[in-house]
Amino acid sequence: GVAPHYPRYRPNILITGTPGTGKTTTSEMAAEATGLTHINVGDLVKAKSLHEGLDTEFNSYILDDDKLIDEMEEVVRPGGNIVDFHSCDIFPERWFDLVIVLRTDNGVLYPRLEGRGYNSKKINENMECEIMQVVLEEARDSYAEEIVVELQSNSLEEMEENVSRIKAWVEQWLKDNSN
Ligand code: ADP
Ligand code: MN
């Protein structure tokens, strides 16, 4: 059913991007800097079995979208979360005040994915995803353009810059939405 809109006293931020672009690291740092709660959706899917089994070809879980949304709704509704996931079109549009799409150059992303021990099929699939800007286009198709922000995530310096931007954005949101 359609859930009614509730006021939020703190914002919800979605941090999305191709695997390896730095979502989890950035989310952890941003949560620390802002006091918002980091929700690692991939971990949640595994922990609560919000999937329909393993896709053996890509060694990844087949999501149960409805179960996942139901599981997250109560936590996300009041605000105050940083949601970390590689896909963004499964969530209700109304959940988020800011959608960050992390981007990484090919030459930087490839060794990160290798470092994770992904097989070559999975590496190639993720490289193609990043080259084709799949997540960025998904975000632009799913959310208002003024809330979608693309940020480069190639170096620690850029990551720290991104965290500072998120912190400043949260502070501004709290000012704009007080009283
Ligand atoms: P994701 O959650 O998007 O898959 P992670 O945050 O797990 O990505 O990062 C993958 C790896 O790349 C980690 O080892 C992390 O330390 C490194 N990494 C991610 N972003 C950056 C960055 N901007 N600069 C340097 N290393 C990074
Ligand atoms: Mn991650």
Query: pLDDT tens digits for 93-118?
Result: 999 999 999 999 999 999 999 999 99
Residue with tokens 């899917």: 45
Average pLDDT, consecutive stretches of 10 residues, N- to C-terminus, the chain (179 residues): 72 98 98 98 95 82 94 96 97 97 98 96 96 98 98 98 98 93
Q: Which CATH class is domain 12-170?
A: alpha beta
Count CB neighbours of 88 within 10 A.
24
- Sequence ranges of the domains in the chain: 12-170
For ligand 1, atom 20, name the residue with the nearest CA: 22
Q: 170 C-alpha vs ligand 1 centroid, how far in Å?
A: 22
Query: pLDDT tens digits for 8-23?
Result: 999 999 999 999 999 9
For ligand 1, atom 17, name the residue with the nearest CA: 22
For ligand 1, atom 22, name the residue with the nearest CA: 155
Q: What is the ipTM of this complex?
A: 0.99
- 91 token code pair: 């969530």
Alpha helices by DSSP H, the chain: 23-34, 41-47, 65-76, 106-115, 120-131, 134-142, 156-176
Pocket test for ligand 1, best of 21, 25, 125 (most atoms within 8 A of CB): 25
